Structure 1
Amino acid sequence: MINLREAGHSEKAKEPYQLSFLETIFDIEAIREELGFERWGFAGHSTGGMLGIIYGIYFSNSLNFNVIVGAAAREYMTFSKDCIYNPKHSEFTRMQELNETLKRLDIHSKRRIELKVERTKLSLFDPEKYDELFSENISKGMSAIRMDFFSRELQVYDVTKKLEFISTPTLILCGRYDVQCPVKYSIEMEEGIPNSKLVIFEKSNHYPFLEEAEQFTKEYNLFIKKHQSLLS
């Protein structure tokens, strides 16, 4: 698990460009080298999945495998009414309100938790299962400065024409009803990445690894087992 600059206890960004996708990939490569791994595997969800795509484009030689969950290879809001960040989506306004409010530092901790729960429920296939799905003692926060930089960079994000440069085996996983990165963008990635496999989860939104955990784990383990045997 890697906390990027401005997240967790990681180093801060000394320059704004250090929050960009490309610079972040350089940071990840530096971590790999420092740990002494010749090659390793990458798994990323949502914006982390987008990082995995760029990592695969530029550093496939550093990867044994790549797992991309609920992501996209290009800006996914403007041309998709199924995306919750598109103004035509029924929950667009509320999601914007939640994101902006959660960036504030003066929100009481109890109220912050309530808002986080509400925001997460907007990305679940069955919101009523929130307590069941998020029962583990796991803490997840949002880096406001990274979110703001990402929101700007996303406007010009499009690496679809470079997907062919990803040579590492790639597993693409997505919920059929993903409202953040709609499933059509995962289909597009499978078509563009040569050695890739797409699995769509029919009862999932943005969190298939929780919403259909058993099937997700099965698909992931099959993929890892297959490519570990090819490497041995």
Structure 2
Amino acid sequence: MGKWIKKNVKTSRGNFEIFIKGEGEPVCVTHLYSSFNESGDYFADTFTESNKVILVNLREAGNSEKEHEPYQLSMLEALFDLEAIRETLGYKMWSFAGHSTGGMLGVLYGIYFSNSLHKLIIVGAAARDYTESENCIYNEKHESFAYMQQLLEGLKSKDISETERINLTENRTKLSLKKPKKFNDYFSKAINKKMCAERLNFFNRELVIFDVTKKLQHIICPTLIICGRFDVQCPVEYSIEMNKSIPKSSLVVLEYSNHYPFLEEEKHFKNSVESFLLNP
């Protein structure tokens, strides 16, 4: 399958660290506060069998450009950075795939830069503050809210050991699996991405005013929306909402998945994605 190849891209907006794997039409993948490395990413791996995947470390993540002003960590600024990367790599257009907050960034990408996108894939995401739903684990009324907050605060700490970080990450992830006991089956690869605390902290402030539902009609590129029926992070109601408002969208709800449908129902997920990307 090959390895992820690290590259440094010098753009008009600074230098950005990217990782490339696969052959075929380009698909950009990123996440709002993940810090990637050569070990790759489970979600991004989904696309490497049929496409060339460009996995991007956003500003402040990994060895990418640092923030020079606080606003540069916003979702809108991330789009300008992605567009600069696309242009520098010489792509007139590419597809974008995002999971969770990466999917939320994808929603914005479609609204403001649909003309840069062949296809758009949004997985387990929302077009507004998903914590408003009582089905969301980040809502105070959810039964696992306090425990999730405890785990997140631990992960933000720069003083924890690698062993502690791995343990906290595992416990956090299990909360978002339909079958937590299958964690080791799902996450068996030697992937060790980290969390960028600066980006997460900024996102938490931005989230409370995030609502682009009235602009979804501006997404004019073909869009595939996928969500697990039991998603506790971005509940399925938000995917249904997006599907109703995005003109060229289709919705796939995976009935036996929580927040990681690309692992929990891998075959169904891949078939849906490949069919969408290969369809003219």
* TM-score, normalized by the shorter chain, greater than 0.5: yes
- How many angstroms does 1:9 deviate by? 1.5
Identity %: 60
Q: 1:65-103 deviations in whole A, cap 9, x for unaligned? A: 00000000000112x111000000000000001101111
From 245, 249, 252, give the equivalent of 1:199.
252
Indicate the SS of the match to 1:222.
Answer: helix
From 169, 172, 180, give the equivalent of 1:116.
169
Q: Distance in 2 between matches of 1:3 and 1:202?
A: 31
Matched, 1:37 2:99: no
1:41-190 alignment to 2 at 5 Å? 41-78=95-132, 80-190=133-243
- How many angstroms does 1:63 deviate by? 0.4
Higher normalized contact order (CA 8 Å, seq sep 6+, divided by chain length) = 1
- How many angstroms does 1:54 deviate by? 0.3
| Stretches of structure 1 lacking an aligned partner (at least 5 in a row) | none
TM-score (normalizing by structure 2): 0.80
1:13-32 alignment to 2 at 5 Å? 13-32=67-86
Matched, 1:212 2:279: no
- How many angstroms does 1:122 deviate by? 0.5
Q: 1:14-44 deviations in whole A, cap 9, x for unaligned? A: 1110000100000000000000100100000
Aligned residue number for residue 6 of structure 1: 60
Q: Which has the higher helix share?
A: 1
Q: Distance in 2 between matches of 1:27 and 1:157?
A: 20
Aligned length: 226
Indicate the SS of the match to 1:151.
Answer: helix
Aligned residue number for residue 222 of structure 1: 275
Letter of the 2:172 counterpart: R
Runs (4+) of structure 1 exceeding 6 A deviation are none
Q: Distance in 2 between matches of 1:139 and 1:10?
A: 17
| Stretches of structure 2 lacking an aligned partner (at least 5 in a row) | 1-54
Q: Distance in 2 between matches of 1:204 and 1:57?
A: 28
Q: Distance in 2 between matches of 1:31 and 1:158?
A: 26
Indicate the SS of the match to 2:148.
Answer: helix
Letter of the 1:135 counterpart: S
Q: Distance in 2 between matches of 1:206 and 1:140?
A: 18
Letter of the 2:195 counterpart: M
Indicate the SS of the match to 2:130.
Answer: coil
Q: 1:81-130 deviations in whole A, cap 9, x for unaligned? A: 11000000000000001101111111121111111100000000100000
Letter of the 1:63 counterpart: L
Aligned residue number for residue 5 of structure 2: none
- How many angstroms does 1:8 deviate by? 1.7
Q: Which has the higher strand share?
A: 2
- How many angstroms does 1:12 deviate by? 1.0
